[in-house]
Amino acid sequence: MNRLLATQNRRVVDPNFTHQLPKIELHAHLTGSISPQILHQIWAQRKTQDSSFILNDPLIEMSTELEHFNVSAFFPLVSTLSVLNGFMDDGVRYLELRTTPRVVQASGITKTSHISTVLDCIANFRLSTKDIMPTYLILSIDRRNTLTEAMETVDLAIQFRSQGVVGLDLCGNPSKGNISIFRPAFEKAKAAGLQITLHFAEIPASSTEEELRTLLSYEPGRLGHVIHVPTSIMQEITTKRIGLELCLSCNVNAKLISGGFGDHHFGQLWATESPVILCTDDVGVFGSPLSNECFLAAKHFDLSKEDLIQLMRRSATAIFSGESEKKKLLHILDEFQKSMQL
Ligand SMILES: CNc1ncnc2c1ncn2[C@@H]1O[C@H](COP(=O)(O)O)[C@@H](O)[C@H]1O
């Protein structure tokens, strides 16, 4: 009896385990991943440099105005580095970060120089940390973009492919924009061998059958959020084994789903054969690092330690960078499972 209890206890997930677990993060927006403390430091630095800068301290006022203060474009090095360190310290062992190319005219920053600086930062980080967290970049197209802007983003992704850009994302306010205009952009990306991930069915208004079918016709390898999906479309998604980036704290705290953690669609989707990936989305905003997302999933859906390791194996099948990183991750997970005597 005691031995049975001891075995069960060994399987019970605690925050220490989810911190140690080698984790895979595939849906993290660079700007939203900056911690409030780092935002404050960047804000203070900007304030001393520019007396006409009128935004309030982000620690005092977390407002939508922050979106206009393009932190990652103004200070790409400090923001990217702080975000990479945050994920590494939380035990992330593979990261696909995403960001929107931005222009900051006053500082002479172009979309090209913005993305090139982020990529340089990632490359230096990988070198200086002995590549403990292989990191790749996804470039975001905003739903409010014009087709010309979206094409520019695709061209940048193609230009920087050899430096670690692995795909394109479609994000932004889900109540805005007409996503059908982006077909030539996603076709060009696909033809160039880039992968595609799309924010999908975040709110009822962006979940019409027409919109969801159009998005699926862009042949995404992964989908983000996947909340308001009719059954027939969900069946198509699971049959195609499209990767599902699920963000528990974001969806609960931003009230994108009704109810609490136990009501999240993770419960149903985890039971399918699809690659399900737990993701933070905007850890700087929602304050729940990936280790905590894993803990929440275990707590509310009764996952064991083995289940979480298996979840990471499934996540590994959905990465965009290719077979060699996938193999490395599966090996790391095997070794981890052995070391935990599971
Ligand atoms: C439910 N969560 C979400 N849904 C849709 N888009 C989101 C998002 N969270 C963040 N973004 C998108 O990410 C951009 C900021 O990161 P970058 O400056 O590009 O790194 C925002 O402009 C927004 O469009």
pLDDT tens, position by position, 291-338: 999 999 999 999 999 999 999 999 999 999 999 999 999 999 999 999
Percentage of residues in the chain having pLDDT higher than 90? 83
- Cβ of residue 245 lying under 6 Å from some atom of ligand 1: no
Separation between Cα atoms, residue 264 and residue 206, nearest integer Å: 19
100 lines ligand 1 (CB under 6 A): yes
What number is the ipTM of this complex? 0.98
Tens digit of each residue's pLDDT (9 = 90 or more) over 21-37 = 999 999 999 999 999 88
Calculate ∠ Cα 137-101-45, nearest 5°: 100
Distance 56 CA to ligand 1 centre (A): 21
| Among 25, 202, 245, 293, the one annotated catalytic | 202
Residue 256 has pLDDT above 70, yes or no: yes
Please report which confidence band the pLDDT of residue 65 belongs to, taking 50, 70 and 90 as the band edges: very low
| Whether pLDDT at 146 is above 60 | yes
Q: Over pLDDT 70: what percentage of the chain? A: 94
Residue 64's pLDDT is 47
Residue with tokens 């440099």: 49
Is the C-beta atom of 315 inside 6 A of ligand 1? no
Q: Could you tell me the pLDDT band of residue 6, with boundaries at 50, 70 and 90?
A: low
Of 46-55, 67-76, 210-219, 325-334, the least confident: 67-76
Average pLDDT over residues 242-261: 98
78-121 pLDDT, tens per residue? Answer: 899 999 999 999 999 999 999 999 998 888 999 999 999 999 99
- Averaged over 266-293, what is the pLDDT? 97
Does 52 score more than 70 pLDDT? yes
Examine the residue annotation and report whether 202 is marked as an active-site residue of this protein.
Answer: yes
| Protein residue with least CA distance to atom 18, ligand 1 | 31
Of all protein residues, the one whose alpha carbon is nearest to atom 22 of ligand 1 is 172
Phi, psi (degrees; rounded to nearest 5) at 5:
-60, -45
Cα-to-centroid distance, 172 and ligand 1 (Å): 5
Q: Where are the domains of the chain?
A: 14-28+90-103+138-339
Q: Whose CA is nearest to atom 6 of ligand 1?
A: 172
Query: Does the beta carbon of 171 lie inside 6 Å of ligand 1?
Result: yes
Q: What is the pTM of this model?
A: 0.95
- CATH superfamily placement of domain 14-28+90-103+138-339: Metal-dependent hydrolases (3.20.20.140)
212 vs 74, higher pLDDT: 212
Compute the distance between CA of residue 29 and CA of residue 139 in angstroms, rounded to an integer. 10
Ligand 1 pocket check for 30: Cβ under 6 Å:
yes
Q: According to the model, what pLDDT value does residue 208 have?
A: 97
99 in ligand 1 pocket by Cβ < 6 Å? yes
Q: Is the CB of 27 under 6 A from ligand 1?
A: no
What would the two tokens of residue 218 be?
């862009």
What is the model's pLDDT at position 68?
47
Taking only the tens place, the pLDDT of each residue in 203-238 is: 999 999 999 999 999 999 999 999 999 999 999 999
Residues 6+ apart with CB under 8 A from 275: 222, 241, 242, 243, 244, 314, 315, 317, 318
240-253: average pLDDT: 98
Query: Ligand 1 center to residue 331 CA distance, Å?
Result: 32
Question: Which ligand 1 atom lies nearest to the CA of residue 172?
Answer: 24
For residue 274 and ligand 1, the question of a CB distance below 6 A is answered with no
Distance (angstroms) between ligand 1 centre and the Cα of 99 equals 8
Mutate to test the pocket of ligand 1, among 64, 118, 171 (most ligand atoms within 8 A of CB): 171
Give Cβ neighbours of residue 325 (< 8 Å, ≥ 6 apart).
94, 134, 319
Whether ligand 1 lies within 6 angstroms of the CB of 281 is answered as yes
Q: Span 251-272, mean pLDDT? A: 97
Ligand 1 centroid, distance to 24 Cα (angstroms): 19
What is the mean predicted confidence (pLDDT) over 60-77?
64
Give the confidence band of 170 by pLDDT, cuts at 50, 70, 90. Answer: very high
Average pLDDT over residues 161-170: 98
Q: How far is the CA of 9 from the centre of ligand 1 (A)?
A: 39
Give the CA distances from residue 140 to residues 99, 151, 185, 317, in Å, rounded to whole numbers and listed in that order.
5, 11, 12, 22
